[in-house]
């Protein structure tokens, strides 16, 4: 399944409200329609859009009373999305919560009753607030540094296309020649030429059509040969 267009989905308040209700309890169509201030036709359209994007799944189930089966909806993804938008940075990433965490954190013992579950959840929410404050500090610094990088590069080198390549590679970790060609509206050979020019000032690795920053050469260029092999 392709990555859902989460920004398109969350850009509409009715869809955000529907998702909020779906996290509270299992919902059938008429229940959802009664909880938002738009027509049932509009609700059906929003649900169809989210199901098409892979955000929701639907199924039918017999109700407790005689009558046709009800159509229920459920959220079909488990992700956290992180996004930064500033005059210097537009960056986002989706984190799959079904994957094994790559950075283990110490969690309290498995709660044994409802009270312990609630307390554990609240403790984890406090930990999340700490992480968000750290993220705020990191992104504030990255934004300030990116502004400095842009200003310095344009002042000292003055090539906007080179800067655009550097900017994209810094934000994404790497970039293919193909995607840079589309993004900058250049031919692939022109991207490679500009990347080669950029390499004179910021060491790059250009291999198999992928461009990344060459950290070891950059450290050596700055006079840190002794540290060039360290992470």
Please give the residue range of the domain that contains residue 95.
79-142
Q: Is 137 part of a structural domain of the chain?
A: yes
Domain stops at, among 21, 51, 75:
75
Q: Is 147 part of a structural domain of the chain?
A: no
Are 46 and 94 part of one and the same domain? no
Q: Is 91 part of a structural domain of the chain?
A: yes
Q: Name residues of the chain where pLDDT drops below 70.
A: 1, 63-67, 108, 224-231
Are 115 and 66 part of one and the same domain? no
Spatial contact of 79 and 97, defined as CB atoms under 8 Å apart: yes
The alpha-helical segments, DSSP class H, found in the chain are 6-10, 13-24, 29-35, 40-52, 114-156, 160-172, 177-184, 188-198, 215-221
Q: Is 88 part of a structural domain of the chain?
A: yes
Q: Is 215 part of a structural domain of the chain?
A: yes
Q: What is the pTM of this model?
A: 0.83
Report the number of distinct structural domains present in the chain.
3
* pLDDT at position 226: 47
Domain stops at, among 75, 100, 119:
75
Are 180 and 118 part of one and the same domain? no
Average pLDDT, the chain: 91
* pLDDT at position 129: 97
Are 39 and 71 part of one and the same domain? yes
């Amino acid at each position: 399944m392709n990555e859902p267009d989460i920004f398109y989905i969350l850009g509409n308040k009715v869809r955000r409200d529907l998702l909020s209700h779906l996290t509270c309890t299992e919902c059938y169509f008429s229940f959802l329609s009664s909880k938002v201030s738009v027509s049932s036709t509009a609700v059906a359209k929003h649900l169809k859009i989210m199901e098409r994007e892979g955000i929701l799944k639907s199924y039918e189930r017999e109700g407790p009373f005689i009558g046709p089966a009800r159509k229920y909806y459920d959220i079909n993804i488990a992700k956290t999305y992180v996004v930064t938008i500033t005059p210097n940075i537009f960056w986002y990433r989706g984190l799959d919560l079904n994957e094994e965490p790559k950075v283990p954190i110490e969690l309290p013992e498995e709660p044994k009753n409802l009270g312990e579950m609630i307390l554990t959840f609240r403790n984890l929410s406090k930990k999340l607030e700490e992480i968000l404050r750290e993220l705020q500090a990191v992104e504030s610094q990255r934004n300030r540094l990116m502004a400095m990088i842009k200003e310095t590069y344009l002042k000292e080198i003055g090539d906007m296309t080179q800067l655009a390549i550097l900017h994209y590679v810094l934000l994404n970790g790497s970039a293919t020649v193909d995607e840079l060609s589309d993004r900058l509206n250049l031919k692939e050979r022109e991207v490679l030429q500009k990347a080669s020019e950029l390499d004179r000032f910021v060491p790059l690795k250009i291999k198999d059509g992928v461009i990344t920053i060459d950290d070891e050469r950059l450290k050596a260029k700055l006079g840190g040969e002794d540290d060039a092999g360290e992470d």
